[in-house]
Structure 1
Amino acid sequence: MTTIVDDEDYNFLNQWKWTYDKCKGYAYRGKMTNKKQKMIYMHREVNKTPEKMLTDHVNGDKLDNRKENLRTVTIGQNNMNRHKLNNISSIYKGVKKRGEERYYARINNNKKEIYIGTFLTEVAAANAYNFYAKILFGKYASLNKCECVDFEQFRVRISKTSKYTGIVFAHGKWEARVSQVYLGRYETEKEALESRNSYITQNKFSSNRLKLQKWGE
C-alpha cells in the first residue's frame, strides 16, 4: 500500500514506520504512552486535527493525505461525505431499485431518512439525490458521478387513486403492491387487484391489512 503526502511533509513523516490498517483503511504508526500502545493516524497528524473532531478525506481516498484533501469536520459532516455502501440494488448512492421499472431516491439527514421520489431511470434518481445532497450538505456532499439529466422529466407522478389498498395508477398503468413487494403494472385496475389477491392467497397472508378485496366493493 502507498500513501500520498505533500513534499513538505515527506521527511517529517518518513522518520516513522507506517502501517496500513486493513479494517479502517488508514495509515498509522504505534506510539507508547504510559506503557500503552496508541495508534497515531497519518491523516490526523498531517491535518493537526483537534481532539473530538474528525479528519475527512475530500475525495474519499483514505490514503491520499495531502493537505488539500484533508479537512477538519464534525461526526455529522463526516457522514455527509460517506460514499456508497456495498450490497445495494443500485450502483448509485441514495438510489434503490423498486420493481422492474422503477428507482427511488432517498437521503439521510440528521439520522432521518427523507424520501425524494420515484423515477423511471436509475440515472434520474441519482441526479435527484445529487440535487438534494448539494442543498443539505453543501461542500461536504458525496455526489454520484453520472450523466446530468433533468430528473423531474422522469419522476413518476400518480394522477389517479384507487379505492383498493395496494393499487395505484402511475405513469399510464395500474400498479399492484403487497406491503413492499412490487407485483407489476397492468392495463386495468381490475387486473392489478386480481394480481394482488392472487399473491396474498398464494402466500397465505392472514393479516387484516393484507386481506382479500372483492372487485366492485
Structure 2
Amino acid sequence: MKIIYAFNGEEIFVDNEDYPYLNQFAWSVKYNNYYTSAYRTERIGDRQKMILMQREIMGVISDKQVVIHRNGEWFDNQKKNLIVIKKGEQNARRKKNYSSKLYKGVHFNKRTRKYIAAISKNGRKYYLGSFDKAEEAAIQYDVAANKLSGKIARTNKDLGIIRYKAKKKVQIKLEFRIKGHQMDSPEDRKRVKQLRSKILKLRTEYTYPIIGKMVGIRYQEIYRFAIGDRGLRSIAFEKLEKAIYKITTVSRKRRGPKRQVQG
C-alpha cells in the first residue's frame, strides 16, 4: 500500500501498482453531507472535468455506474475496498437518514403516532409497515435492506446506530405504493385549477374538517391543495377529484333547480 497526499494534506491509500500513475496528478478532496471523495480536474476543450479517484482506479466511465467503498472509508482507494455498482444502488450504503433524526429508513407519522419503515430500490419506494417503537421499524428496514441489496447493504446495525441480537426470521412484505405522475401537463394544470375552484366553492357550505370527513382525506391536505400551497400526484388527485364531484352533485340536488326570474 502507498499513500498519496491531497492538496489539503489528507492521506489517501492506494495499491502499489496504481501509485505511479495516480501520483503524477494533484488531488483535492470534495466534502459534502452525502459523500467525501478524492478528485482531480482535467481541462477538456473550454471546460474543467472533475475525475474521481475511485472511478479512475476502477476504469469506470459510464454515467450509469458508480464506485463505492466497501468499508465506507473514502480515503481507502485500494482495489479490494472498491465496488462497482449500478447508479442508484449506492443509497443502500448511505450512512444515515438525512431527513430525520431517527434511524435510517424510519420516519414518524404524527397523524397515526406510529413509526413508519420504508426503503427505496431502483426508483421504487417500498412500504414496510408501521410500528409502535422506532427500534422495531429500524430492524424491519435492516431485514429489507439485506434482502434487496445483499452485500452492499449498510444497515442500522452495521452503522452501530442500533444493537440487537439475532432475531427469529422476520417476515417482510415489500409493498410498492404507486403514487402516479406529477400533474404538470397543460391538461393536468387545467384539471387542478378546476378542482381547486370547486373546493373553494364548497367552502361556502362546509368547513374543511367536514369536507375532509366526507372525502376520507385529512382536511389539512385539502386546505393546502385548495390554496395552492401543495400539489398532488395523479392517483391522489383523481381520488380527491371523484370525491369532490360526488359532494358537489349531492349539494346541487339538495339545493334543487335554480328558479327562473320572470320578466
TM-score, scaled to structure 1:
0.62
Residue 147 (1) aligns with residue 185 (2): no
Structure 2 partner of 1:208 = 211
CA distance, structure 1, for counterparts of residue 168 and residue 133 of structure 2: 9
Q: 1:118-137 to 2 correspondence within 5 Å?
A: 118-137=130-149
Write 1 or 2 for the structure with the bigger share of strand: 1
Partner Cα distance (1:106, 1:206) in 2: 29
CA distance in 2 between counterparts of 1:122 and 1:140 reads 24
Question: Secondary structure of 1:144's match?
Answer: coil
Deviation at 1:13, TM superposition (A): 1.9
- Matched residue, 1:115: 127
Give the equivalent residue in structure 2 for 1:97.
108
Rounded to whole Å, the distance in 1 between the matches of 2:99 and 2:17 is: 40
Q: Which residue of 1 aligns with 2:60?
A: 49
Q: Which runs of 5 or more residues in structure 1 are unaligned?
A: 154-203, 212-217
Deviation of 1:47 after TM superposition, in Å, equals 1.5
Superposed CA deviations along residues 140-185 of structure 1, whole A, max 9, x for unmatched, are 22211222254899xxxxxxxxxxxxxxxxxxxxxxxxxxxxxxxx
Number of positions where the alignment pairs a residue of Structure 1 with one of Structure 2: 160
1:187 corresponding residue in structure 2? none
Query: Whose helix proportion is higher, 1 or 2?
Result: 2
Q: Which has the higher Rg, Structure 1 or Structure 2? A: 2
Q: Which runs of 5+ in 2 are unaligned?
A: 1-9, 171-206, 215-263
* Alpha-carbon distance, 1:97 to partner: 2.8
Structure 1 residue 93 displacement after superposition = 0.8
Counterpart of 1:93, as a letter, is: K
Residue of structure 1 in register with 2:40 after alignment: 29
Q: Deviation above 6 Å: which 4+ runs of structure 1?
A: none
Q: Which residue of 2 aligns with 1:174?
A: none
Structure 2 match to 1:19: 28
1:207 CA displacement? 4.8
* TM-fit CA distance, 1:44: 0.8
- Percent sequence identity is 32
